Chain A
Amino acid sequence: MTIAGMSVVEILEGQQRGEFTPEEVLRAHLDRIEAEDVGAFLRLCPKGSPGKGLLQGVPVALGDEVCTEGVETTAGSRILSGFVPPYQATLVGKLEGAGAAVVGKTNLTEFGLSFAMEDALFQRTQNPWRSGTTPGGAAGGAAAAVAAGQAPAAVASDTGGDVRIPASFCGVVGFTPTYGRISRYGVIQHAPSLTQVGLLAQKVRDIALLLKVLAGEDPQDATTLPGELPDFLEKPGEPGSWRIGIAPEAYRSCAGGDVYQATEELWQRAAEELGWQLVEVDMSWLDLAQVARRLIAAAESSSSLGRYDGVRYGYRAKDAQDMRELFSRTRAEGFGEGVKGEMLLGTYILGDQAHYEAYYLQALRARNLVYKSIKDLWQQVDLILTPTTPRPAGEGETPLEIFTGPSNLGGLPAISLPCRLVGGLPVGVQLIAPAGEEGRLLRAAHVLEKMIDFASSRNGGGQRA
């Protein structure tokens, strides 16, 4: 087996057995990046493994919204082109402290505002499963890099499915922890109340290891949770018999027939083979959650992206005659159309007292309602199982984030696993757990992953062509 394409744990074990060195591991991945250009990386910054630790010699890709000291960081926007942060994200320090090798910065849609990777401004990223097909977004570069074996793991932010949607499209594992579990300091964000730092890898086991390294309180991020997390899968223990919440009605109306069928077959197998107990629950609030999330993201974006005015850093319009012209031309020239639209929407809904009450306040109320509805579900179930995306990569009406957005509204941990191939392209299945229950989530996902056995499954032929 070639090194590029191995999981994090396989790389660590191979190094331990003396089969290859951290340098060889990095070289193998850089070679793969060169050999198979899927447009995943905006730029490479290989420095080699910084030392010993839990992730020694493991190459990690970072979404370009993660600030890297001395390395250009753009968040996928022209307005930040040329911006080289004089500081780094807390998570970068933690990765390097654990011996991981940051390999490069991956492509995303501008500020991660769109889930449609076609909207990315700097370059086209291909879905490694089928050239010319979208990998999904916003973290399309990160997911494509992991799927193509160009990095065994990646870190990127998730405000509504940015990590899980491309994980679903690219056939890899995408995970978002409880809100505040991983520090957001140094991660460029448009909607901080929704932003969870997410992880991508090939295996659930790898996610557990990365989470142990990255979790923890950060004095520079007031919203981080106290306490450290163990490696939940170091000793997985007995597979639990979980009560699993499903909402067939809602799924059928939101997801395509093939995707619904794949998900239904999966939960039926899980009931039979794993003894999971299925509980039908009400998720009629999916549409409400979708609209609320969209409005909140737009409102927060209109404020968070205000700082890009050309005065201190980043793109600056040339020959502006006065302050107003400098501001308006810098922003007119620096932002893409999609982001401008979002900021206009956000400005509109916060724009005066009447709009604030009619839209923003209503969205907060809806968020609260969804939050309470999910909270009530935990009386009946231990986990919720949904499709990750309404369809595999491709066109469609339903918003891509319909199933992934709710967990961001509630700050809940969620994970997407490759489920099967639909029309030759992967789709994922999502598990959602109560806040703080990453352990339960990862143990269940670990068991489910084994059952699916995506890589060699008969019904999918889960191997990239």
Chain B
Amino acid sequence: MHDFEAVIGLEIHVELSTASKIFCSCPTTFGAEVNTQCCPVCLGLPGSLPAMNRKAVEYTVKTGLALNCRIAQHTWFDRKNYFYPDLPKAYQVSQQDAPLCTGGCLEIPMGEKGTKKVGINRVHLEEEVGKSLHAGETIIDAVYSLLDYNRAGIPLIEIVTEPDIRSAEEAQVFLESLRNIVRYIEVSDCKMQEGSLRCDANISLRPKGSTVFGTKTEIKNLNSFRAVRRALEYEIKRQAGVLKDGLAVEAETRHWDEQKGITIAMRSKEHASYYRCFADPNLVPLDLAAEWIGQMEAELPELPGARRQRFIDGYGLPEYDAQVLTSSKEMADFFEEVVKGYNDPKTVSNWIMTDILRHVKDQDEETEGIPLAPASLVELLQLIEQGTINRNQAKEIVLPEMFEDGKSPRQIVKEKGLEQISDTSQLEGVIASVLEANPDVVQDYLGGREKVMGFLVGQVLKETKGKANPRLVNEMIREKLKQ
């Protein structure tokens, strides 16, 4: 297998999070009752006409700009014609010949190897189709099929990479970086499990050192980052096996079977459909003024790369911390909010990267942000600093409760009776009785064995059920034995 190099390109579809659909005012909310978010336009009823949603164009252009693309100043929309029940007009409005954005790149982190640029061939805008549910394996052998047109007409962008990706792992890292950027600029929520981010992969192998492309297959049905990685790993092995046996890889579309962990041939590319594309006369061509494109660029928020650098320069964080914290917009926002209230960036970073992240489920896949108010972490850190609770209590008892029922740290401390006793008058009696009960240990201490102090403090903590402030107890015993 090490004789071959994998050549991978990705096609990613992202549903834009505009409030209304691309050509009508129907809402785009996910999970609504079937066929309740449609109208004559998105159902393609006879005589209905499309009216372009300006926001959808804006979001596409912003995505292109964030991916360093050139933005076309003159562009138009094509009809891609084919028959399928979930395609109400029997054509999909898309951009074949004049994509809004071309020729960009995305820099992805490669661990110790630094970063790598993956070329972006194009980003174009199109309309989403409806959703079919077949009572059977495929629509052809289905007893019946159900159709939901709520999704039809949601604005969709297609992002096509250059064949610059060389491993399954790189593909996954690319997707993570891409999703991160798209979420940073707030044009999509990119939820793979809801289908608002979907990925197809093209892959071929070639002998190492060769510059010619091998025959590629296209893998579909990749529903998670893990699936993308596993499917590509499988397909690399499969193609290597075919080539080593002296056979040829078939140009075909393959289906990823998540359960079995294999790809299965679906259809040959020999019979690739030709979509009879031509410019849709019902939509006027788009002419984007350079000033307007400039305005879109100015509206872009700080992107992950720039933010990572600022975290290093501005907060003095190590590169690793900055990388992890900026890997999702929500986490980076959370970090900055907490630092505003508790100005010790490294401590905040440590808390987020270890204890907080441990509580955030599914963190490598679909991080939905941190289900905590930044103010509550600030409060927790202040309680530790003020000596109200100790670090262990904070991590083991308070933080889990905060995640569980969203109570404030102060409230949890109160309900659990965790406040440390820092009142010397309360502690004096306990200390006196501990010293009295352990004359031998006291003698050892006075004789110079300072290590036994730990035992004495421990006894006091035991007596106070762990609530005594250990630092204070330590000081008080020291003081007392000086006398």
Contacts and interface: CB of A to CB of B under 8 A. Distances in A.
A227 interface: no
B85 A311 contact: yes
Q: Number of contact residues on B: which range applies? A: 20 to 34
Contacts of B277: 350
A309 B85 contact: yes
Interface stretch (B39-47, B212-220, B377-385): B39-47
Given A322-B140, A323-B85, A347-B276, A222 B47 contact: no
Contacts of B282: 192, 222-223
Given A73-B46, A303-B90, A309 B274 contact: no
Contacts of B305: none
B266 interface: no
A75 B47 CA distance: 10
B276 A302 contact: yes
B79 interface: yes
| A interface: dominant SS | loop
Contacts of B373: none
Name the residue among A65, A306, A308, A353 with the largest chain B CB count within 10 angstroms. A306
A186 interface: yes
Contact of B284 (A185, A188, A222): A222
A372 B274 CA distance: 32
Interface residues of A, number: 47
Contacts of A65: 47
A457 interface: no
Contact of B281 (A67, A83, A193, A351): A193
Interface in A173-192: 184-189, 191-192
Name the residue among B40, B47, B90 with the largest chain A CB count within 10 angstroms. B47
Interface string A54-88: 00000000000111000001010000100101110
Contact of B88 (A66, A86, A191, A312): A312
A87 B45 CA distance: 10
A253 interface: no
A87 B278 contact: no
B405 to A, nearest CB: 48
A73 B142 CA distance: 33
Contacts of A184: 47, 49
B276 A307 contact: no
Name the residue among A65, A85, A186, A311 with the largest chain B CB count within 10 angstroms. A311
Interface string A194-236: 0000000000000000000000000111110000000000000
B343 interface: no
Contact of B147 (A307, A311, A327): A311
A89 B140 CA distance: 37
Nearest to A157: B47
B50 to A, nearest CB: 7
Contacts of A222: 49-52, 282-284
Given A222-B51, A303-B276, A351-B276, A309 B46 contact: no
Contacts of B41: 220
B426 interface: no
A365 to B, nearest CB: 14
B32 interface: no
Contacts of B43: 312
Nearest to B24: A220
Contacts of B284: 222-223
B81 A307 contact: no
B248 interface: no
B198 interface: no
B307 interface: no
A115 B140 CA distance: 39
Contact of A221 (B49, B91, B140): B49
B89 interface: yes
A7 B147 CA distance: 50
B47 to A, nearest CB: 4
A17 B136 CA distance: 71
Nearest to A321: B140
A334 to B, nearest CB: 13
A75 B274 contact: no
B110 interface: no
A73 B45 CA distance: 12
B140 A324 contact: yes
Interface in A303-339: 303, 306-309, 311-313, 322-324, 327
B115 interface: no
A186 B48 contact: yes
A307 B88 CA distance: 6
B424 interface: no
A306 B89 contact: yes
B230 to A, nearest CB: 32
B145 interface: yes
Contacts of A351: 274, 276
A323 B47 contact: no
Interface string A295-307: 0000110110011
A267 interface: no
Contacts of B142: 322-323
Q: Which 9 pairs from chain A and chain B are nearest by CB?
A: A306-B90, A193-B281, A350-B276, A192-B281, A188-B46, A186-B47, A188-B47, A67-B47, A311-B85
Given A192-B282, A311-B85, A351-B276, 18 more contacts: A83-B46, A184-B49, A186-B47, A220-B41, A220-B51, A222-B283, A303-B90, A303-B278, A306-B89, A306-B90, A307-B46, A307-B88, A312-B43, A313-B45, A322-B141, A323-B145, A327-B83, A351-B274
23 contacts: A67-B47, A80-B46, A85-B45, A85-B46, A86-B45, A87-B40, A87-B45, A87-B48, A184-B49, A185-B47, A185-B48, A186-B47, A188-B46, A189-B47, A220-B49, A303-B79, A306-B81, A306-B83, A306-B90, A322-B140, A323-B145, A350-B276, A353-B274
Interface of A: 65-67, 73, 75, 80, 83, 85-87, 89, 184-189, 191-193, 219-223, 299-300, 302-303, 306-309, 311-313, 322-324, 327, 347, 350-353, 356, 360
